[in-house]
Amino acid sequence: MPGARGANLAGMPQIADTFDLARLRLAPGQGRQLNLHVSPGSLELSGVDYPVQPDPLPVRLDVSRMTGGGWSLRLRFTASPRGACMRCLEPAAPSFEVDAREVDQAGGGEELESPYVSADEALDMRAWSRDALVLALPAKILCREDCAGLCPTCGADLNADPDHAHEPEPDPRWAKLRELKLD
């Protein structure tokens, strides 16, 4: 429901995947701060599905009307994608702070037009929150910053056994010498 805020009769927060900016009726120089809920869905990273928690995601939206009829927007939230650690495959649920800004000024060129604000001043909160979260993520989702991963030889969890080691493979350049039979 565009512009929805608060909770419905069942006590569940209403989801504002799109928000009607025109409904705010802000004059140039005016602004509002809104607390909304968005359902960003799951992220697919390296072929693995990472559901985003909490769902729905509480977000803070700061909206300011600019002179010339444009919008200055700021979106803030904390989210936690949950899934397998990309090093050791154990469950991972790191938390990320997101602080994203957008400007939408009609006729201002590509740099000043937000892909999340449509011509009828509808703000696509779902797409913006997903994109902002993806940009805030590190290259790998880990169970912890110092995750040691798995042994490349046998697959043992190096977090559980940091002293894990294997005998080094013999140098293949000496293989023919090992075939010699000395009596």
For 172, phi and psi rounded to 5 degrees?
Answer: -65, -20
User: In 14-169, where do the E strands start and end?
Assistant: 18-20, 31-38, 42-45, 48-53, 57-65, 71-81, 83-84, 91-92, 96-104, 122-124
pLDDT score, position 11: 52
pTM across the whole model: 0.79
- pLDDT (0 to 100) of residue 175: 82
Of the candidate ranges 48-52, 119-123, 179-183, the one whose mean pLDDT is the lowest: 179-183
- Say if residue 6's pLDDT is above 50: no
7: pLDDT strictly greater than 50 = no
Is residue 71 pLDDT above 90, yes or no?
yes
So where are the chain's domains? 18-149
